[in-house]
Each structure stands twice: as C-alpha cells, then as structure tokens.
A and B are shown apart, each in its own frame.
Chain A
Amino acid sequence: MSAAEMKAPAIVTVAHVSKVFGELKALNDVSLAVASGAVQCIIGPSGSGKSTLLRCINQLEKIDRGAISVDGELIGYRRAGDELHELNDAEIARQRLATGMVFQRFNLFNHMTALQNIIEGPLTVLKQPRKQIVAEAMALLERVGLADKRDAYPSELSGGQQQRIAIARALAMKPKLMLFDEPTSALDPELVGEVLTVMRDLAASGMTMIVVTHELGFAREVASDVVFMDKGEIVEQGPPQTVLVAPRQQRTRDFIAAVLK
C-alpha cells in the first residue's frame, strides 16, 4: 500500500465477524479494513468463506457475530444506547445503495433488455427522470463497449457481454464501492479478458473495489492489497508482491502452487 492509500480512511471495516451455516463455520472471527480507493482482492480455495464475506458486506447474508461498517455507517443495525436494533427492509435497501455488486452468474434481469437492466435501478429505486438516466446508461454501455447491444435480451448475449452489462447496471447506481463475486468464474476462457479489461479500467478510475477472484494475474497487476482466506479465516494479508509472489504462510504457498499448476 502506498503512503497516500495508508492515509485514506477505511470505507469498509469488518470487525470480528463470524457466520455459521448449520454446522459449518463459514467465517470465523474475520477482521478487515478496506481503504477508500483501494482494490482489495480476496483469494482462497472454494468454501474458504470469501464469497460469504462479500455477501455479508452488502447484507445478502446476516452475520452471527461481530460488526461491519460501510461508508461510516454500521450496517444492519441502529444503535440505541447499549442496544442494537435491527433495521427494516427499506432501511437495509437504502444502506445497500452505497455498494454495487457483480455476481458470478451475472443475474441480469432476464425479461429486460440490456438498457432496461441498467436503467431499472435509477428509475424505480432512485426515481430519477428517465431522459437523464437513459443518457447516462448509454454512456455506461459505451464504457463497457456494448452500445450496439442496448436492445438485446440477456439470452441473446454471451457470458462476457452479460457480465459487462451487469457491471454497467451496478455502476448506474453510482455506488461508492463495488463488490465482485468471482466475476469471471462462470465464463469461457476466451471471454475472461473482456471482463477483466472493464474491471481494470474501473480500478484505474479510482473506484474502490473488493474482488473475490481466482485470476491471480489480475490480482498481481491491479490489487493494492491481497487477502488469502482458508476455512473461514484470513490466513495472510499484504501487498500482491508479497502474498502472491513470496507468501509467508505454507497454506498460501500450497494454494498458489495448486492454482498455477
């Protein structure tokens, strides 16, 4: 991390978070701070809890212990003296506006065209005037290189194109933070590059990003910080040159050797 980034305040703080699915401890006392403007990559074997951590940050999962703050707000609860009161549906929805999320399986709205997918949030959630948001949506389509696909339905697009539309849809809400949950894992190998290019541009524009990924090359090139998780715990954290190139922990070494094999 550069000196400038060190000084930047944390936009996401995860403090001693645990999450249990039945018998399985998905997260075990995880703490993490992500600075504003940082690109935080999270790597680790499947079932290590990295996707769960991401989903806890935008409240798609509820945490069992600990606390998370996003953009200076405690998420999921309102503090009243010594008590934490659960927030209602509308308040949680409002808190989610700070984060944009990109899913492994794209999850584009199947009954809407590319353009309709992008304007849906600004139109129904932010209630902005249609004319303005269509112009902004077209600019976003331009940015992800798909202006000619504005009227295509998701079923008519390749995986890579769908994922780029999904990124545009998240950006249309003007989030302060973007979460990527294995954005290239469901793609054919030849389609991974186009999605990573969009993400690289996004990182260069200064967007704060938390990226769960298996693309070690992308992490080495773009990440400002890398976390290696295993069995619900953070095993190792540091700059990409350390964690990805000369890891200190044996578990990290084994994982990277297995991925590069």
Chain B
Amino acid sequence: MTVTSSRIDAGDLAQVAGLRIVPKRFYGRWVAAALIVAVLIWLGVAFAKGDIAWPVVAQFFTAPAILSGLTNTLIMTVCAMALGIVLGVVFAIMYMSPNPVLRGVALFYIWFFRGTPLLLQLLIWFNLALVFPTIGIPGLFSWRTIDIIGPFMATLLGLGMNQGAYTAEVVRGGILSVDTGQTEAAKAIGMTRLTTLRRIVLPQAMRVIIPPVGNEVISMVKLTSVASVIQYAEILRNAQTIYYANARVIELLIVAAGWYLLVVTLLQIGQYFLERHFSKGRGVRRKVKRAAAQEEPA
C-alpha cells in the first residue's frame, strides 16, 4: 500500500532517510513557456509573411548614411553625457555648499532645466540666433551666433544641460549616502572640504551613483533621436532621409532599432564591469576572489 502522509514515527526516520527524492514539479512554468513559444512562432510567421523586405533591411544595415548616423549618435551620447556628468557633479557640490549664493544658483539651474521639456530646450538653443544675433564680449570679440550654434552645438547644449540637472540630483543622493563619519575622519586628518569630497566622499558615492547614471547613459543613446527635429544627422534622422527617398519606412526603422539595441546591449555589459570596480572594499569582489583562491589548491 502506498503511504502518502507526512506523519512519521521516530523509529521510521532512519529508513526514510534512504528513499529516493523526487524533485518538485513546476507544471505552471512548462505551460507558460509553451504559450510564449507559440506566441513567438506566430509573431515570426506574421513578420515573415508581412510586407517587410528583409533583404532591404540587410542591405541598409551597414549603409554609409546609417553608419555615419550611428557615429553621430554615439559621439553625441558621449559628449552630452560627459557635459551632463561634469555639470551634475559641479551643481550637486554647489547645491550642498554652505555658500547661499552657490546654493541658489544650483537650485535655479535644476529647477529650470528639469522644469521645461527637452524638445523645447533644443528648439531654444537652435533658435538662439533670433535672440542674440552675435555672441561674445562687446568691443573685444564677437561671433555670429548662427556660425557657432549649429545642430551639433544646439543638441550638445540642450541634451548636456538637461542631463546635468538630473545628474546633479543623482550625485547629491550619492553624496548623502556616504556616512558623515567619513567626512569627520577626513577633516580630522586635516583635509579641506574639497579634498574630502574628491578623495573620500565621491569615490564612495560612486557605488550609489553609477547604476542610475548607467541607466541615464542608456536613455541618452535613445534621447539623441529627439535631435532629429533640429537637423542633427543622427541615426534616426538619416534613416528617415533614406525612407523619404525609397519609401521603405519599416525596413529602415528596423535597421535603426537594431543598432539601438546593439549599442544598449554593449553598454549594459560595460555597466556591469564598472559597478564591480566601484564596489571596492564592500567585501563583494574580494570575497569572491578569495573563495576562488581557496578552492584552487584543494
């Protein structure tokens, strides 16, 4: 007779310990996986049958105009993000300064650039020549605004300054996450406020800052596409230019989507290594290393 009970006498325990163990069955998972596979097959068939000329996708994936657009997207991501991070750190430090003037400036900056849409900021930068036909110091030197602020400059300033306002808050959060005891210990060995920030607080804040900034780099890659409205020749704009000519709309959008996914995937891998670097002294990285070292000689 089959016994299906959890009740057991102490005397039977030794006998039970030798029985074969049958792992738990997860029927729900199998059903879900089967459903997902079915949906994927259906989607695949739909796209294959649909009116998409896949050879065109392949043909344009490495077309010169697409690659130069990709390059411009990447250049803008790097430049705008660099400007954003520099501004973010500077304004976060100003925000937390005991100096009320610096604090006020930082507050205004964050308020203004977070408070207006990015697209509007891009349009303002691009049309700055309408307000100031020339820029410079009167009597010393001046340039025509239209020569200086072209699509690249307007996009860089728009994306970078907008990003700076968000990054400032991320950096401020990171600085606040560092224990005040660290600052006191730094003061006690004679460090000034700025040296303490640079040597002690910011390196430890990085652990908290990197994940959200990594997130924002990824979102910046895609945000550069907004610059297509002010004629910056990034990948989406170049894809559009091509499909205006050959009417292969979906094919070229698929090309652009493919490149965005590829770039973002690479960035995610990079973020993993960066985070591992800044977890230094948190006992994660070194413990793993040590465990590996202990296993080796055995």
Contact = CB atoms under 8 A, between A and B. Distances in A.
Interface of A: 58, 60, 89-90, 93-94, 96-97, 99-101, 103, 105, 107-113, 120-121, 124-126, 153-156, 166, 169-170, 173
A110 B189 contact: no
A120 B182 CA distance: 13
Given A97-B190, A124-B191, 7 more contacts: A93-B191, A93-B192, A96-B188, A100-B189, A113-B281, A126-B190, A153-B280
B189 A169 contact: yes
A111 B279 CA distance: 8
Contact of A120 (B189, B204, B282): B189
Contact of B286 (A96, A110, A156): A156
Given A153-B280, A154-B281, A110 B192 contact: no
Contacts of B186: 109
B282 to A, nearest CB: 7
Interface of B is mostly: helix
A101 B188 contact: yes
Interface stretch (B85-93, B128-136, B195-203): B195-203
B181 interface: yes
Contacts of A94: 190
B297 interface: no
A104 B283 CA distance: 22
B188 A58 contact: yes
Contacts of A58: 188
A103 B184 contact: yes
B193 interface: yes
B185 interface: yes
Interface of A is mostly: mixed
Contacts of B283: 153, 155-156
B187 interface: yes
B202 to A, nearest CB: 10
A125 B190 contact: yes
| Residue from B185, B204, B282 whose CB has the most chain A CB atoms within 10 Å | B185
Contacts of A112: 281
A108 B188 CA distance: 12
Contacts of B195: 124-125
B281 A121 contact: no
Nearest to B207: A111
A211 to B, nearest CB: 15
Interface residues of B, number: 23
Nearest to A97: B190
A111 B204 contact: yes
Nearest to A96: B190
A120 B203 CA distance: 14
Nearest to A166: B185
Contacts of B193: 89
A169 B192 CA distance: 17
Given A107-B182, A111-B204, A153-B281, A124 B188 contact: no
A153 B195 CA distance: 21
Contacts of A110: 182, 204, 281-282
A153 B190 contact: no
6 tightest CB-CB pairs across the interface, nearest first?
Answer: A121-B189, A107-B185, A107-B181, A101-B188, A153-B281, A155-B283
B182 A173 contact: no
A111 B192 contact: no
Contacts of A101: 185, 188
Nearest to A125: B190
A155 B285 CA distance: 12
A125 B280 CA distance: 23
A60 B188 contact: yes
Nearest to A111: B281
Nearest to A153: B281
A93 B199 contact: no
Given A107-B184, A107-B185, A109-B200, A155 B281 contact: yes
Interface in B160-192: 179, 181-182, 184-192
A120 B185 CA distance: 11
A212 B156 CA distance: 56
Contacts of B189: 96, 100, 120-121, 125, 169-170, 173
Interface in B65-118: none
Contacts of B181: 103, 105, 107
Contacts of A120: 189, 199
B199 A124 contact: yes
A193 B280 CA distance: 30
Contacts of A170: 188-189
Contacts of B192: 89-90, 93
| Residue from B181, B195, B204, B281 whose CB has the most chain A CB atoms within 10 Å | B281
B286 A121 contact: no
A121 B186 CA distance: 8
Contacts of A103: 181, 184-185, 188
Nearest to B186: A109
A258 B266 CA distance: 64
A108 B185 contact: yes
A126 B195 CA distance: 12
